[in-house]
Amino acid sequence: MSSNKPEQPLYEAQPQNLLLWSIVLLVAFSWIFWDFLQRQFWFAIKQQADWGHTLVIPFIAGYFVWLCRGKILQQPFSRAWSGIVFVLFGLAFYIFCALSDSFHHHNLMGLGVASSLTGMVIFIFGWRPMKYLWFPLLYLFIFGQTISDRFMEVATFKLQDIASYGSYVGFSILGFDIVREGNTLELFYNNKSYPLNIAEACSGMRMLMAFFALGVAMAYTGLRYTWQRIVLVLFALPTAIFVNILRVMTLGLLSIIDSGFAAGDFHTFVGTVWLIPAFLIYLGIVWILKNLVIEPEEDEPDESASIFLFTNKVTSGFLIAVVVLAVTAIGFQYSIQVLNVTLKKEAVYPRRSLSVLPTQLNGWKMNGEDQRMDAAGVEALGTELYLSRSFVNTNHSSSPIKLHITYYTGQIDAVPHVPDRCMVANGFVQLTPDPLTFPLQIDKAEWQDDTQASLDGVPYQIMSEWNPLTKQEDIVRLPFGDFELRTTEFTHPQMGNDHVFAGYFFIANGKTTPYPGKIRFLSFDRSSKYAYYCKIQFTMQGNSDFTTPQFVETVSEFTSQMLPHIMKCLPDWAEVTNNDNQNQ
């Protein structure tokens, strides 16, 4: 007795119908993940030198799929309901990160996007095609999104060290007299000094990420054996480092001709030019790897298959996926309204330019000119809204105190630049293992409770100041929080016994904190439509008798005078939040 199992019916899908349903699915997908996709797009546009390649990655991943199309279409697609598990996990994780203060992070949200997209592919097409689709999907997820500064900074500073040391060795081999202090090089030629700072933009991280993406793509398409592909990808790191060292040396040599060559647009142009020989080096590595093995000739696989066969009705699979995404998107939008969450923070700019801060206070006057950075320095700083100005005490002789203010707004996952990291990179030696936090003795004798505005039920503190232009009293609102200074003591090989003291605190959305890690919780409150933070930093040089308590005392005296003027420049957070509430 024999029993023949009836053949499962197959459903042929026309390419135009698949394209139509794919567009509908893409619209639903973009709806739920719009915040992530929009932010990623602007990262690529506004930071083209670093992340412009992410715009090309989806097309490269699509090309990988096209190369495997014959194998993918050899057998019918069979829907896998287990894919819905990945979709639901991705959606839930994405929404959790979007609504959370602690986990609202671009790359964590990207994990939810990746899980949802993978789940939809598995659900509609089944597990069999994943044998060929897993690599294009993984390539898209890894190289198609911007890596947060919080994840990149560890590698970035290490690459800065490598670039500075490699350039130092290179110049020494060429016979130049050169001195290296941290990430700063000083080149001597014809009895003249040419300083060269290896900023974060020169670390080689941007080149490394592009090279890894290029290396993986070339390994996948141009090499047959796994060991060849692994070797090529591993060569991306030394190749990028080597070319970056040559780029830094080129900038150093050009600075001898004209210091402007090491900054501005020409600085970026030199980095772009060096990508050409870097690419040729990489092609040479591919040629060597291919010729290490004599590969037998094989018949080219037939990639002409174009019939899409499914074991289930195609329309129902796409419809279910679209409904899941649409229902989730509606629920997500409803949750945002109920919880009063704002996903995209809008920029709020200073009311006045920082340059209008007074040059003379009671007991203090400006010393020298404001210091301006070159284009590379501004790029490393991450903002064009900054002020670097020195003051001296007119009542007694002491070292000048340098005031450095940087203002950031509308950003997410921002990593503040602090002296305990940046000064070490410039050759300073940190004398204490960790920064120490001290309270600032701010003179609050003239501070009063605000009878018109409060934050979380607590009235603002205000000061009244006579304005000779308007002939009226100006009301200045002061920030909330305990004023504390996070301080670090440094020395430098070229300073002898003198020490440098650096301290800072932040003002974010009308509140203060000395801790960089708390910036996100203050300036990126989920319920606030706007976000800003401002770093206020002080630096002083003193001899071996000058102590940290004396530095804190000097900063307290200076800040008591300057703080109201700083707050007149920064946004009045009471007005910002009041206008926001009126517009809702």
334-348 per-position pLDDT tens digit: 888 888 777 777 888
- For the chain, give the percent of residues with pLDDT over 70: 84
Residue 30 lies inside a defined structural domain of this protein: yes
Mean pLDDT of all residues in 240-265: 74
pLDDT of res. 265: 58
Q: Please tell me whether residues 564 and 535 are part of one structural domain.
A: yes
Instruction: Name the pairing type of β-strands 436-439 and 346-347.
Output: unpaired
Q: Please tell me whether residues 115 and 231 are part of one structural domain.
A: no
Query: What is the pLDDT confidence band of residue 266, given thresholds at 50, 70 and 90?
Result: low
Q: Please tell me whether residues 70 and 165 are part of one structural domain.
A: no
Q: Please tell me whether residues 175 and 225 are part of one structural domain.
A: yes
Pick 520 or 458 by higher pLDDT: 458
Q: Please tell me whether residues 333 and 352 are part of one structural domain.
A: no
Residue 303 lies inside a defined structural domain of this protein: no
Mean pLDDT of all residues in 240-266: 73
pLDDT tens digits, 267-303: 666 666 777 787 788 888 888 888 876 665 555 554 5
Pick 26 or 208 by higher pLDDT: 26
Residue 133 lies inside a defined structural domain of this protein: yes
CA 72 from chain centre, in angstroms, equals 37
Q: Please tell me whether residues 369 and 506 are part of one structural domain.
A: yes
Segment among 40-54, 116-130, 146-160, 502-516 with least mean pLDDT: 146-160
Spatial separation of the C-alpha atoms in residues 212 and 234, rounded to whole Å: 8
Query: What is the pLDDT confidence band of residue 307, given thresholds at 50, 70 and 90?
Result: confident
Residue 307 lies inside a defined structural domain of this protein: no
Q: Please tell me whether residues 437 and 576 are part of one structural domain.
A: yes
pLDDT of res. 538: 95
Residue 296 lies inside a defined structural domain of this protein: no
Residue 271 lies inside a defined structural domain of this protein: yes
Spatial separation of the C-alpha atoms in residues 457 and 522, rounded to whole Å: 17
Average pLDDT over the chain, rounded to an integer: 83
Mean pLDDT of all residues in 426-450: 86
Q: Please tell me whether residues 384 and 256 are part of one structural domain.
A: no
pLDDT tens digits, 465-499: 766 666 677 788 999 888 999 999 988 777 778 88
Counting the structural domains of the chain, the total is 3
Domain boundary among 339, 374, 409: 339
pLDDT tens digits, 508-559: 888 999 988 788 777 666 777 888 999 999 999 988 788 899 999 999 999 9
- For the chain, give the percent of residues with pLDDT over 90: 31
Burial annotation 92-110 (CB, 10 A radius, 16+ → b, else e):
ebbbebbbeeeebbbebbb
Q: Please tell me whether residues 124 and 158 are part of one structural domain.
A: no
pLDDT of res. 2: 46
514 Cβ contact partners less than 8 Å away, ≥ 6 residues apart: 437, 484, 485, 486, 504, 505, 506
Q: Please tell me whether residues 382 and 438 are part of one structural domain.
A: yes
Residue 197, strand partner residues:
184
Q: Please tell me whether residues 466 and 536 are part of one structural domain.
A: yes
Phi-psi region of 340 (alpha: psi -120 to 50; beta: other; left: phi over 0): left
Which tokens go with 429?
């030696």
Spatial separation of the C-alpha atoms in residues 567 and 477, rounded to whole Å: 7
Question: Domain range for residue 222?
Answer: 151-291
Residue 2 lies inside a defined structural domain of this protein: no
Mean pLDDT of all residues in 256-271: 63
pLDDT of res. 1: 45
Q: Please tell me whether residues 375 and 437 are part of one structural domain.
A: yes
Spatial separation of the C-alpha atoms in residues 557 and 150, rounded to whole Å: 34
